[in-house]
Amino acid sequence: MKAAVFHFPGRISVDNVPDPRLHHLEDVIVRVTATAICGSDLHIYNGFTPQVKPMIMGHEFMGIVEDVGPGVTRLKKGDRVVVPFPIACGGCFFCNHHLPGHCENSNPSKYGPEGSLLKEKGGGMFGYTDLYGGYDGGQAEYVRVPFANFGPRIISSDYSDEEVLFLTDIFPTGFSAVEWGGVKGGETVAVFGCGPVGLMAQKVAWARGAARVIAVDIEDYRLEMARNVCKSETINLHDQDPAETIRELTHGRGADVCIDAVGQEAERSLWDKIANIVHLQVGSLNALRMCLSAVRRGGIVSVVGVYAVPYDNFPLGQIFDKGISMRFGQAPVHACIDDLIQWVESKKIRLDDIITHRVPLTDAAHAYDIFNKKKDGCVKVVMYPGS
């Protein structure tokens, strides 16, 4: 079959690879009908999240069940499914606590040597490096889906692939960002990052009753989408200081909730870059720092942007002084996807209006390039293995 294979940073090619096979009783094989590129894939593509061996990319995918292991009771051949991006067993301590991203059975290899950062096992993901279990991803014609009694959700034929594909990741992630922010109605919510995740967070913030949604980015075309599609107010941080502007807009107080939908590859100032070299850090806390400045005293900073390395100069004094609450992490997709399917069914939210590019899987290398470099007005790419 054909699959988008990561070889080394900056190099993804569509290769012929062996078809996946059932390994365990509860596996299914899914024929992928649509798959998207995520901002998280860029951490691997740009070498921030390391992967040494070639690996099939992709954790946002859906398709048709083609083959079913003998232990699978919830699915049959021919079912059309969306698949949550975390791989989770459904039976361990973390799965039982609605924390599928920390499943103890999907990634036993995460045990590292004593004292290593990776000592705790947990957290398998499709196409997300050996650190996350070394599973093949779904940017391919076929993919093996483990624990198929717990993960995949059947989707009716009333909806197109594009209407439901983002239930796999970015919609639950935007939803989690807003939930962790405690948005109940009437709040001012500032969302840093107008990529697919930030745009989803903006949509969910409105749906949750936010009084005001303010979106921050550096790319004018993405800010335009935030204004047109999400009806948010926008700030380009190259033109205005976001924290000062947000305070001006909120009686000098700041936003009730700030969401970091950027993560470690945030654009940094020259001083940040120099500080990073001194501290041997690869990423940037720029977006997170801006969230901490822009949030009001006693407010909440909710972080779904990915951070993967330790950072010095984390502004603990400011967090303490302002009494800021913070939540970080991977979205617990399994825990919220059934409610979110209902949001789609009741038309409470529309997901497909952020798609800017639709390409065959064979164009994956080009698709990664334009999504990564923010070229050609690219916001979200959907790839079709069948075309």
Q: For 316, phi and psi rounded to 5 degrees?
A: -60, -35
Comparing CA positions, the residue from 298, 303, 304 lying closest to residue 324 is 298
Query: Which region among 43-51, 94-102, 177-185, 372-380 touches Zn ion (by CB under 5 A)?
Result: 94-102
Which of ligand NAD, Zn ion, none interacts with 218 (beta carbon under 5 to 8 A by kind)? ligand NAD
Q: Which residues contact 186 (CB under 8 A, 6 or more apart)?
A: 209, 210, 211
Cβ closer to Zn ion: 92 or 275?
A: 92
Cβ closer to ligand NAD: 94 or 142?
A: 94
Residue selected from 131, 214, 237, 292 as contacting ligand NAD according to rule CB under 6 A: 237
Cβ closer to ligand NAD: 104 or 272?
A: 272
- Verify binding: residue 331, Zn ion, rule CB under 5 A: no
CA distance linking residue 37 with residue 60, whole number of Å: 7
CA distance linking residue 92 with residue 83, whole number of Å: 19
CA distance linking residue 66 with residue 142, whole number of Å: 9
Residue selected from 4, 5, 32, 38 as contacting ligand NAD according to rule CB under 6 A: 38
Scanning residues 184 to 203, which ones bind ligand NAD (CB under 6 A)?
A: 192-198
Query: Which region among 27-35, 39-47, 141-149, 159-167 touches ligand NAD (by CB under 6 A)?
Result: 39-47
- Verify binding: residue 148, Zn ion, rule CB under 5 A: no
Query: Which region among 87-95, 116-124, 209-217, 229-237 touches Zn ion (by CB under 5 A)?
Result: 87-95
Residue selected from 30, 42, 201, 337 as contacting ligand NAD according to rule CB under 6 A: 42
CA distance linking residue 253 with residue 7, whole number of Å: 48
Cβ closer to ligand NAD: 51 or 72?
A: 51
Q: Are 213 and 205 in contact (CB under 8 A)?
A: yes
Burial class from Cβ neighbours inside 10 Å (0-12, 13-18, 19+) for residue 342 reads exposed
Which of ligand NAD, Zn ion, none interacts with 92 (beta carbon under 5 to 8 A by kind)? Zn ion
Residue selected from 14, 83, 266, 285 as contacting ligand NAD according to rule CB under 6 A: 266
Q: For 380, phi and psi rounded to 5 degrees?
A: -145, 130
- Verify binding: residue 161, ligand NAD, rule CB under 6 A: no
- Beta strands, E only, 69-127: 80-82, 86-87, 124-125
Which of ligand NAD, Zn ion, none interacts with 203 (beta carbon under 5 to 8 A by kind)? none
Residue selected from 30, 38, 261, 301 as contacting Zn ion according to rule CB under 5 A: 38
CA distance linking residue 187 with residue 183, whole number of Å: 7
Tokens of 231: 């009806």
- Verify binding: residue 213, ligand NAD, rule CB under 6 A: no
Scanning residues 271 to 330, which ones bind ligand NAD (CB under 6 A)?
A: 286-287, 304-306, 330
Q: Which residues contact 291 (CB under 8 A, 6 or more apart)?
A: 190, 192, 258, 259, 260, 301, 303
Which of ligand NAD, Zn ion, none interacts with 89 (beta carbon under 5 to 8 A by kind)? Zn ion
Helix and strand tally (H, E) in the chain?
12, 18
CA distance linking residue 196 with residue 200, whole number of Å: 6
Question: What does the angle CA 166 – CA 171 – CA 175 come to, to the nearest 5 degrees?
Answer: 170
Cβ 23 to Zn ion shortest distance, Å: 17
- Verify binding: residue 205, ligand NAD, rule CB under 6 A: no
Q: Are 221 and 357 in contact (CB under 8 A)?
A: no
Cβ 19 to Zn ion shortest distance, Å: 24
Tokens of 217: 């980015």
> What residues make contact with ligand NAD under the rule CB under 6 A?
38-40, 42-43, 169-170, 173, 192-198, 216-219, 222, 237, 261-263, 266-267, 286-287, 304-306, 330-331
> What residues make contact with Zn ion under the rule CB under 5 A?
38, 40, 88-89, 92, 95, 103, 105, 169
